[in-house]
Chain A
Amino acid sequence: MSLALDGIRIVEMGQLIAVPHATKLLSDMGAEVIHIESCVRPDNYRLQSFYGNTVEGNFWDRAANYYEQNRNKLSLTLDLTDEACLNVLKELISTSDVFAENYTPRVMRNFGLEYDDLRKIRPDIIMVSSTGYGYVGPWSTYGAIGYSTESASGLASITGYSDGPPRLPEIPYADYAAAEHTAFAVMAALIHRANTGDGQFIDVSQSETLTSTIPEAIMDFTVNGRTQERVGNVHPSISPHGCYPCAGDDAWIAIAAETDAQWQSFCRVMLRDSWIDDPRFKDSVARVENRAYLDTSISEATASRSAGELMTSLQRAGVAAGAVLNGKQMLFDSHLKSRGFYEVVEHDEISGMPSLPYSSRPWKLSLTPGSSRTAGPTMGKHNNLVLGQYLGLSETAIAEMKGTGVIGTGPTTPRPPRVVPLEEQLSRGLIISYEDDFKDKLRDRFD
């Protein structure tokens, strides 16, 4: 099967999500991504969320967040404070199309890995720096993760219940928005280079990418002087529009009925035909005005219904509705199953992990579909391949690097982090439940 990005090589000095997710998407479509890691300072995502919730042995090769962002890649460990390693990296970059990184600008400056340095060794290199607030500017020296940049972007200030503080989801959302824009920019730069031969430097501010997705709030201020408030799930002109309780523990359904016809269908499916003739709900203006009363009434009517069954009934009647799916329900959703959205990936034997399903990608290309070919690499898995075959270092030279510890297959000082037992996660409210028979259920679903 052909791959759209076959022949493209990306050297990635990424951590967490903002760059690794972007290069993962490119690797799915065939780019060869060499993920540079440090044994001295391992990627934080190698140090949390472990398979089996244990930190015995090589725990850094069993971390969910690492595997989520790094499939299909090659892993090369390098200690860049060592001059030989730094030269190896530069030589590798000279054979590459793209160099992508998401450290603070100080790091690239200190290593002499800025764009002006790299284009001397590879004139048409495409370099991406993804930072919390941008490569230049008074905040450019500040570190950031998705929670910080989502807050600075403006999105957090308008998200939340109308009577509560700003809210962030339980994942670093802004990192993904930045990564998705980064993948786009790399593609645009590759096309430009294919047409002109020119590389370039791409400066991604993770905060700015997210601000570019809330124009309604930004321009309501710049044009009308209005500051939008937090409104929960309320829509300014659609009612009903909200999230309503269903039968079961923490079960919910999202419903949006926009037109009068949809409203009437909704009432019938809810077995509340009397609402159709109720003057308080007679048209969309009345339903918006009496929103609070309507939402309370709907909640009473949905509380005894199954979220999944109610969704099916409402959708059959032409009303937009969706069960609020949790992490497990996503894996078992029939629609995502039929689209093959979760792809089973085999892990390296030394991880001790079975094959597991991972989310794939939000597109299907008919001719060059791309795929999850291999799981994220164990640490330093491709040291010999990259140093020996790609760069032509001798076995002796590689052995010497291993000996001095500038390359390796695990952290220089492995410090197993404290693992929070599932029972304690439950009492801290981090998880709602856990199941002991999940392996059997997964096998039944994905075999």
Chain B
Amino acid sequence: MTADSTNNRDNNTGGALAGVKVLDLTHHVAGPYCTKLMAAFGAEVLKVECPGVGDPARGLGPFAHDDAHPEKSLLFAYLNTSKRGITLDLKSSTGRSLLERLVAESAILVENFSPRVMPALGLDYDSLQKINPALVYVSISNFGQTGPYRNYKATDIVEYALGGLMYILGSHDREPLKHALRQSQFKAGTNAATAALMAYFYKLKTGQGQRVDVSVQEAVASALRDTVSLYSYNGAIRQRQNSYTGDMPRSPMPTSDGYIVPIHFGGAVDWDATGDFLGEPDLKSEKFSTPMSRLEHAKELHETLEKAFGRWEKYELFEQANKRRGSIYGIVQSPAEVVASGQNGHRNYFAEIDHPVIGAATYPGAPLIMNGTPWKASLPAPLLGQDNQRVYCQQLGLSSAELTILRASEVV
């Protein structure tokens, strides 16, 4: 490999999913991230928004230069790269028949309304599979399409609570925390994209479409390692960690200029060697020499470690530690440091994208590199309704006069 790796991230040749047509009825975060992944790797994604207002994510900050304008949401701009966009009122009968024509031409449909909405619009799976039996119909919802919580309301913090991740994040003597921003939504979007492709792969072999039901709660709950099995294996319940465990913490520890995470991997920590490496002879003291003595002097051990790490600058300690066997220290980087990182720079991770309203900006790039079929990130998110003419007239064959009528009646 792989000298070529860095050149293949973003060069706009055909992606892995070239020719796969995706009808994107999604909004907010989870659905758009699902279809963004597909679009980035070559699928033709057509995003359908409500006329006039569009995807509510257009109202979510941060905004470019703090201007709360519907074309300046940076979150929306990121989530909708490489898609085309039209507007359509799904509640009108004309709108629904136009949508049905698009369904007939699509391989995958993705929606993330609450479970009541698509059936109420007459756009449930059973109706649409009559139009297109090979359709892969993906629904993403807070708690899935079935079960007692199916109509429950949720935001990220509620998904963290009911997904089991919140209870194990934070300090043992304070309230549980969620991760910053909207992790549960991104997890659900990623999993939904995978599930959609699994169903599509089956369709390639058999010609049969099917229904895919993705739950945000389950996206969180399926990634908890042994948090649940600690109970089924031993009857024990894991909690948020005590500050002083009498062991090497595997949580961020302050250095002179930030934080590192002192991971010692593969067996017990060699405290003498660690004391030598960090330049802290007190770590070699008798009172830290056995698990029981470290537990007994847990607070003192923690303070000694703080003293030791506090003498280092974080990048220096990170790099020195990682040159030693088994000490795979982590480094806490701010977003600014991530952007400046030589590692990300070497890999051409960030993408420059020119958006007609936001202008040129630096976006997070491909989450991974597919060397044979690089992703494309150069198309900016669609302006509201920007592809109406192209889709309704060129693709579906409506006349300009017909489109004008649809506009006047606010169907598009």
In the complex, the answer to whether A331 meets B335 with C-beta atoms within 8 Å is no
A-B contact pairs, 12 of them (CB 8 A): A25-B194, A52-B234, A65-B226, A115-B371, A154-B337, A202-B370, A219-B74, A221-B335, A256-B157, A327-B228, A327-B231, A431-B236
Q: Tell whether B311 is near chain A: CB-to-CB under 8 Å.
A: no
- Interface segment, one of A77-85, A88-96, A318-326, A391-399: A318-326
Can you list, as one digit per residue, whether each of B206-249 has a CB less than 8 Å from chain A (1) or not (0)?
10101111110111011111111111111111111110111100
In the complex, the answer to whether A335 meets B228 with C-beta atoms within 8 Å is no
Q: How far is the CA of A360 from the CA of B148 in the complex (A)?
A: 19
In the complex, the answer to whether A363 meets B169 with C-beta atoms within 8 Å is no
A-chain residues with CB within 8 Å of residue B391 when the two chains form the complex: none
Distance in Å from the Cβ of B376 to the closest Cβ of chain A? 13
Q: Tell whether A173 is near chain B: CB-to-CB under 8 Å.
A: yes
Distance in Å from the Cβ of B372 to the closest Cβ of chain A? 3
In the complex, the answer to whether B227 meets A171 with C-beta atoms within 8 Å is yes
In the complex, the answer to whether B2 meets A136 with C-beta atoms within 8 Å is yes
Q: Classify chain A: how many residues form its interface, as a range.
A: 35 or more
Q: Tell whether A444 is near chain B: CB-to-CB under 8 Å.
A: no
Q: How far is the CA of A334 from the CA of B368 in the complex (A)?
A: 37
Q: Tell whether A348 is near chain B: CB-to-CB under 8 Å.
A: no
> Which of B169, B187, B197, B362 contacts A219 (CB under 8 A)?
B362
Interchain Cβ contacts within 8 Å, total number: 583
In the complex, the answer to whether A427 meets B295 with C-beta atoms within 8 Å is yes
Can you list, as one digit per residue, whether each of B119-150 has a CB less than 8 Å from chain A (1) or not (0)?
00000010000000000000000011011110
In the complex, the answer to whether B153 meets A185 with C-beta atoms within 8 Å is no
Q: How far is the CA of A363 from the CA of B140 in the complex (A)?
A: 9
Other contacts beyond A218-B339, A223-B64: 16, CB < 8 A: A5-B198, A44-B266, A65-B226, A151-B252, A159-B169, A170-B239, A177-B187, A213-B183, A224-B62, A237-B61, A324-B166, A356-B232, A362-B188, A363-B195, A363-B214, A366-B211
Tell me which residues from 50 to 65 in chain A have a Cβ below 8 Å from any Cβ of chain B: 50-53, 64-65
Q: How far is the CA of A164 from the CA of B121 in the complex (A)?
A: 48
Q: How far is the CA of A435 from the CA of B367 in the complex (A)?
A: 42
Q: How far is the CA of A152 from the CA of B333 in the complex (A)?
A: 5
B-chain residues with CB within 8 Å of residue A407 when the two chains form the complex: none
A199-B372, A327-B231, A364-B213 known; A4-B367 Cβ under 8 A:
no
Distance in Å from the Cβ of A443 to the closest Cβ of chain B? 11
In the complex, the answer to whether A361 meets B222 with C-beta atoms within 8 Å is yes
In the complex, the answer to whether A135 meets B2 with C-beta atoms within 8 Å is yes
A338-B146, A367-B202 known; A208-B237 Cβ under 8 A:
no
- Interface segment, one of A247-255, A277-285, A381-389: A247-255
In the complex, the answer to whether B218 meets A362 with C-beta atoms within 8 Å is yes
In the complex, the answer to whether B178 meets A233 with C-beta atoms within 8 Å is yes
In the complex, the answer to whether B191 meets A362 with C-beta atoms within 8 Å is yes
Can you list, as one digit per residue, whether each of B238-270 has a CB less than 8 Å from chain A (1) or not (0)?
111110111100111110000111010111100
In the complex, the answer to whether B227 meets A170 with C-beta atoms within 8 Å is yes
> Which of A216, A322, A429 contacts B154 (CB under 8 A)?
A322
